[in-house]
Structure 1
Amino acid sequence: MTWPTITINQLNLLQGETDEVERRFLFIGNASKNKGQIISVNAQTDFNGVLGNDDSALKKGVLAALENAGQNWFASVAILNDGQDWTDAVIEAQKVGSFEAVVYAENINTKAEINKAISLRKNLIAKHGRWVRFILGVEGLQANETWAKYESRLATLQNGIAEYAITLVPMIWGNEPFVNAGRSCNRSVTIADALARVKTGAVSNLGRDTLPVDSAGVELPLATLQTLNANRYSIPMWYPDYDGVYWADDKTLDVEGGDYQSAETVRVIDKVARRIRLLAIAKIADASFNSSANSIAVHQQYFSKPMREMSITTQINGIEFPGEVKKPRDGDIVITWKTQKIVDIYVVVRTRDIPMQITISLMLDASLDQ
């Protein structure tokens, strides 16, 4: 005999929003106050109270990041203990939150420090499922160096290293890694927009008001910046007869021919990885996800959700404001069941076109008017 009952289940279809990791950066360095602390900061923070009254490189840099980030900037600062390794501070900060990027700008000048960041990225992915990229400040010009010697030294520093989640930023003016980070957090554009975008405006607070000079008294030439960029450094630049200082291609240490030679592609693929991982976790041992044709079709839509959301484009008054990626097409999600318990999912992420080199050809029409 069946007793009359009514059971109501409240199902969670996971249709809500996820926390934004993007644009939250972790800044690491030395300061006179709060050593060993990890402190959340925003535009309203009293930085003298947090980092001390002295003009430490960290304090000056974080203020430069704030200035270039625009509205609603939010970050964390890890102040190192005396003798503390900066990578330990990154590990400790994982208890506080998840970060898109780590900025460490204490004059890196060895391959060993770069390789530390490479190992740290791999460990964070393995242990926490967190995709973090690193912006490392490289030592600026030494007192006895010419621009030619500096170019040679930095060419050697990056040579032979391959990791697309590492961005090296020479500290020629002083605040460049922080300016890079601040501009990356600017909400007037998407994470898929290149740092070189001129419409975002000129950068500010690079660290000095005049062009740096070398030991021979020669002002920094554009050719040196072009050489550094060719050697996979992310650097500011300017255009003759166009006011302001801007940014060149935001290079990474990806290999020649790699898909992630510019930071904006890393930011996009990391964002997709974070979001699609959460979707996949929810499907563990869910029998509705199976090898039937209907289930595969449903889950192709399910796993394309991050790309669909990131592809939303707005158009107003004839001007288009594109999304972070292109809209996914049929066939961009392929689901292959290898056994009854093991399934592989392949995802195509279509990045946007970004004009970095523009060639204009002019022609005269000298024919007689008819």
Structure 2
Amino acid sequence: MATPIVQVNRLNRNQGPFKEVERLFCFIGQGETGRGSLHMVNTDTDLDAVLGKGESVLKTQVEAAKVNAGQNWNACVFVLDGVLTWKEAVDYVMEQQSVEGFVIVDPVTKSTDIEAMQTKQAAVMAEYMRPTLFLAAFRKLDPAADTWAIYTEAAIALLTGLRADTVSVVPYLWGHELGTYAGRLASHAVTVADSPMRVATGNLLGEWSKKPQDKLGRPVDRSILKALADARYSVPWWYPDYEGMYWTDGHLLDVSGGDYQVIENLRVVQKAMRRVYPLTVSRIADRRLNSTPASVASNESYFMRPLFEMAKAVEILGEVFPGEIEPPKDGDIVISWPTKNKVEVYMAVRPYNSPKSITCNLLLDLKNYA
């Protein structure tokens, strides 16, 4: 007769919190101090100690990001040493740290530089299963040689014909735009679903009142900014009779009609990708995921967990603060079995509408009802 056996197993249902990668950006650029190293920085960091007391494009952008991101800002900085390229720096960082995106502060000079960023993003995804994005910059205007016509023509030519839907490019007009943009995206006061255009986020911080001028003495105006924005650059913006400097869309270099023309669409999908990945890994060769109706229903809820969490809204004093996406609906997930051992999961991510063009029509009523 067999002896009694008691066994107690500890099961893992994968219900814990996900690692927060969003809002963490890595700045890469030339510098004199800490070269060839990766530095972690936050609101407490003395940037003079880490990046040197001298001025540099890298330090300027990190300072601008620090100011505009506000509370609880964190970032990492890789200082190029004149030997390593930014591509090699990305590889180094990926071995040390997972980040939402890379901020390449040294201006790009040709279209192939931007294509290389899109290609690098695809390589990182293939090797590490980490969705990322790239922020890049176009050169400053030369006030001794450039008119605004010459500058905008060169800027537009750089992006013409490019498709890079994980790359966003900023022109250096004032000189600290790229860091300001990265800081605005990293702010914990808003979500990844919010456009950098959002005025309620607050105005841009830093020195904006002195407008850059071309060699003819013409200061930058909104017609120049609009031309750059129409060419898919992300640029600062101001409104007549409304104090402060703000931002336009976070443009990505997607095709006309593409889903990823603005950065908030990419960020919400990439956030969902990061969270569904570990859930997917944990189901490998697990017979709890099978083709029976009960299993399909159970696993629909299992895989939709990140979207349910991203959709949570808050209501206070009658005002609703929506989640990052709309709550998932019936039919927003489909689990398909192409073969006996291969599963495909399709999930719909539905961002909220966001007004970027508002028209108010006023009517005059002169009827006399007396």
Q: How would you bin the TM-score normalised by the shorter chain?
A: over 0.9
d(CA) in 2 for partners of 1:75, 1:322: 27
TM-fit CA distance, 1:191: 0.7
Cα shift readout 1:268-324 (whole Å, capped 9, x = no counterpart): 011111111111101000011000010000011111111100000001011111111
Query: Is contact 1:105-1:138 (8 Å) kept?
Result: no
Q: 3-state SS of the aligned residue for 1:94?
A: helix
Partner residue in 1 for 2:58: 58
Query: Is contact 1:195-1:247 (8 Å) kept?
Result: yes
d(CA) in 2 for partners of 1:209, 1:108: 26
Query: Is contact 2:68-2:183 (8 Å) kept?
Result: yes
TM-fit CA distance, 1:46: 1.6
Q: Which amino acid aligns with 1:232?
A: R
Q: Which amino acid aligns with 1:158?
A: L
Cα shift readout 1:28-68 (whole Å, capped 9, x = no counterpart): 11111110000100011121111111011111210110000
Percent sequence identity is 38
Partner residue in 1 for 2:153: 152
TM-fit CA distance, 1:344: 1.0
- The yes-or-no answer on 1:204 pairing with 2:181 is no
Unaligned runs of 5+ in 1: none
d(CA) in 1 for partners of 2:79, 2:164: 26
Per mean C-alpha deviation after superposition, the further-off stretch among 130-139 and 143-152 is: 143-152
Partner residue in 1 for 2:120: 120
Counterparts of 1:209-358 in structure 2, within 5 Å, are 209-358=209-358
TM-fit CA distance, 1:84: 2.1
Partner residue in 2 for 1:171: 172
Q: How many residue pairs get matched? A: 369
Query: Is contact 1:102-1:133 (8 Å) kept?
Result: yes
Q: 3-state SS of the aligned residue for 2:105?
A: strand
- The yes-or-no answer on 1:182 pairing with 2:183 is yes
d(CA) in 2 for partners of 1:166, 1:61: 17
d(CA) in 2 for partners of 1:183, 1:158: 23
d(CA) in 1 for partners of 2:109, 2:204: 25
d(CA) in 2 for partners of 1:140, 1:254: 24
Q: 3-state SS of the aligned residue for 1:297?
A: helix
Cα shift readout 1:238-287 (whole Å, capped 9, x = no counterpart): 00111000001111101100111100111001111111111110100001
Query: Is contact 1:141-1:214 (8 Å) kept?
Result: yes
d(CA) in 1 for partners of 2:60, 2:178: 11
Cα shift readout 1:106-150 (whole Å, capped 9, x = no counterpart): 121211211110110010000000111000011121231111121
Partner residue in 2 for 1:94: 94
d(CA) in 2 for partners of 1:265, 1:273: 13
Q: Which amino acid aligns with 2:270?
A: D
TM-fit CA distance, 1:369: 3.4
TM-fit CA distance, 1:356: 0.3
TM-score normalised by structure 2 residue count: 0.98
TM-fit CA distance, 1:209: 4.1
Unaligned runs of 5+ in 2: none
Backbone CA RMSD of aligned residues: 1.0
Cα shift readout 1:160-211 (whole Å, capped 9, x = no counterpart): 11121100000111010110000001111111011011011100125x5401
Q: Which amino acid aligns with 1:367?
A: K
Per mean C-alpha deviation after superposition, the further-off stretch among 79-88 and 309-318 is: 79-88
Cα shift readout 1:331-367 (whole Å, capped 9, x = no counterpart): 1000111111011111110111110001111100011
Q: 3-state SS of the aligned residue for 2:126?
A: helix
Query: Is contact 2:115-2:164 (8 Å) kept?
Result: no
d(CA) in 2 for partners of 1:140, 1:265: 28
Q: 3-state SS of the aligned residue for 2:106?
A: strand
TM-fit CA distance, 1:83: 3.2
Q: Which amino acid aligns with 2:85?
A: D
User: After the TM superposition, which segments of 4 or more aligned residues of structure 1 sit over 2 Å from their partners?
Assistant: none
d(CA) in 1 for partners of 2:199, 2:318: 20
